[in-house]
Amino acid sequence: MNLSAIDRDICFRMRRVARIMSDEHRYIEDMRATLCEAIWDRSITRARDAFNRYRAAISVHFAVEEDVLFPEIGFANPDEKPEIERLVQAHDRLLEELVEMGDQLESLAGEDFSRRLEGHATIFSLCESNEEALVSRVAAAGVS
């Protein structure tokens, strides 16, 4: 396989990944909405269950990005490695925040926890936007 065939293959996979990532981001957002409903209903059992599912989904999503997607992007475009490192650091901070939130779920008032969750969701969204832009750049580079 020559280099141009490899470039086309990477471009194709990155476009496919971009679609999958968008679907996963919507799924995680739906899980967050379910969690918010449980918090506002003051149902600690439902909130804990929804929170655990939300945290697990984000954890799995990040693991796939870090173990599969980012190494391939780094191989295809080594200039993107600093951006990949920033994204992994953002993942680490977001996961640490979720651990802290989980430890405090039962003690936080619904409104306070919801504000903290909203802040987390905003940072998650920014991180995911940066990842989608990274995938788009790699896909576009494979076209040229």
Question: Contact, 112 vs 36, CB < 8 A?
Answer: no
- What single DSSP character describes residue 67? I
- pTM score of the predicted model: 0.84
The CATH number that applies at residue 26 is 1.20.120.50
Tell me whether residue 144 is exposed, middle or buried, using C-beta atoms within 10 angstroms of its C-beta: 0 to 12, 13 to 18, 19 or more. Answer: exposed
Q: What tokens does 71 get?
A: 């190494």
Q: What is the per-residue pLDDT for 120?
A: 93
Q: What tokens does 10 get?
A: 């990477």
Question: Containing domain of residue 119, as a range?
Answer: 3-143
Nearest Cα neighbor of 130 from 104, 94, 76 is 94
Task: Tell me how many domains the chain contains.
Answer: 1
Q: What tokens does 34 get?
A: 């379910």
Please report, in tens digits, the pLDDT of each residue of the chain (144 residues total). Answer: 444 665 667 667 777 777 788 888 889 999 999 998 888 888 889 989 999 999 999 999 999 899 988 998 888 788 999 999 999 999 999 999 999 998 888 776 666 788 889 999 999 999 999 998 998 887 777 644
